[in-house]
C-alpha cells in the first residue's frame, strides 16, 4: 500500500497496528460488521481520504447545529483533540482514533448510530478488535471470537 501518499493526504502518520492489519488483511470486514477503511477500496466511503473528508464536514455541521452540538464532543482531525475515522459498521456506527499525541498512542473512540453515544476505549485498533471476542460493548455488536470470521469487501 502507498502509506506515504495516504499519510501525506491525511496530514498525519497512521498507527502501525492499523497498517499491519491492512497489509495482512486487505479490505477487511470483521464479523461481517466492522469495516476498516482501506485506501485500495473500490468504494469512496471506505477509502480513508474521501471518508474522512465527508465525515469531517458532517462532524462540523453537527457541532455547529445548536440542536446537536452537545451530542458531538469531538471535532474532526486535525483540530485539537480531533477524531480521525478508521472504520465503520454495518449499523451506522463510526470508529475513530482520538488523534492526540503520537499516532502509536492514539486510542479508539466509537460513535454509535452516527453520534447518539460516544465511547472511548483505552487501546489502539488491533487491541480493540481483539477484545471484541471477550465481550461485545453493545447488544447489537457481535460477540465471540472475531478472528474466526475475517472477510473481504471490494
Average pLDDT, the chain: 83
**What grid cell was written down for 26?**
486487505
- For 87, the grid coordinates are 472504520
User: Do residues 135 and 143 touch, judged by C-beta distance below 8 A?
Assistant: yes
Please name every residue paired with 111 in a beta bridge, in sequence order, or none if there are none: 94, 118
Share of residues in the chain with pLDDT > 70 (%): 84
Cα dist. 19→4, 64, 115, 136 in Å? 11, 33, 26, 24
Separation CA 17–CA 2 (nearest Å): 16
* Rounded Cα distance, 137 and 105, in Å: 21
Is the pLDDT higher at 142 or at 54? 54
pLDDT of residue 28: 81
Confidence of residue 15 (pLDDT cuts 50, 70, 90): very high
Domain ranges of the chain: 3-137
Fold of 3-137: SMI1/KNR4-like (3.40.1580)
User: What is the pLDDT, as a whole number, of residue 16?
Assistant: 96
- Residue 146 is predicted with a pLDDT of 42
Q: Which range, 42-46, 49-53, 112-116, 135-139, has the best average confidence (pLDDT)?
A: 49-53
What's the rounded mean pLDDT across residues 47-56?
Answer: 93
What is the per-residue pLDDT for 58?
Answer: 86
Q: What are the tens digits of pLDDT across the range 57-116?
A: 988 888 887 887 777 888 889 889 999 999 998 888 899 999 999 999 999 999 887 667
Amino acid at each position: 500500500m502507498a502509506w506515504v501518499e495516504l499519510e501525506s493526504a491525511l496530514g498525519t502518520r497512521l498507527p502501525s497496528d492499523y497498517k499491519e492489519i491492512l497489509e495482512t488483511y486487505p479490505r477487511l470486514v470483521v464479523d461481517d460488521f466492522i469495516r476498516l477503511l482501506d485506501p485500495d477500496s473500490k468504494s469512496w466511503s471506505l477509502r480513508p481520504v474521501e471518508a474522512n473528508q465527508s465525515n469531517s464536514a458532517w462532524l462540523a455541521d453537527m457541532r455547529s447545529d445548536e440542536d446537536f452540538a452537545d451530542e458531538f464532543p469531538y471535532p474532526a482531525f486535525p483540530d485539537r483533540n480531533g477524531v480521525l475515522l478508521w472504520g465503520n459498521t454495518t449499523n451506522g456506527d463510526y470508529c475513530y482514533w482520538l488523534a492526540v499525541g503520537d499516532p502509536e498512542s492514539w486510542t479508539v473512540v466509537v460513535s454509535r448510530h452516527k453520534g447518539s453515544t460516544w465511547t472511548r476505549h483505552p487501546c489502539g485498533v488491533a487491541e480493540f478488535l481483539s477484545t471484541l471476542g471477550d465481550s461485545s460493548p453493545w447488544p447489537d455488536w457481535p460477540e465471540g471470537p472475531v478472528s474466526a470470521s475475517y472477510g473481504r469487501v471490494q
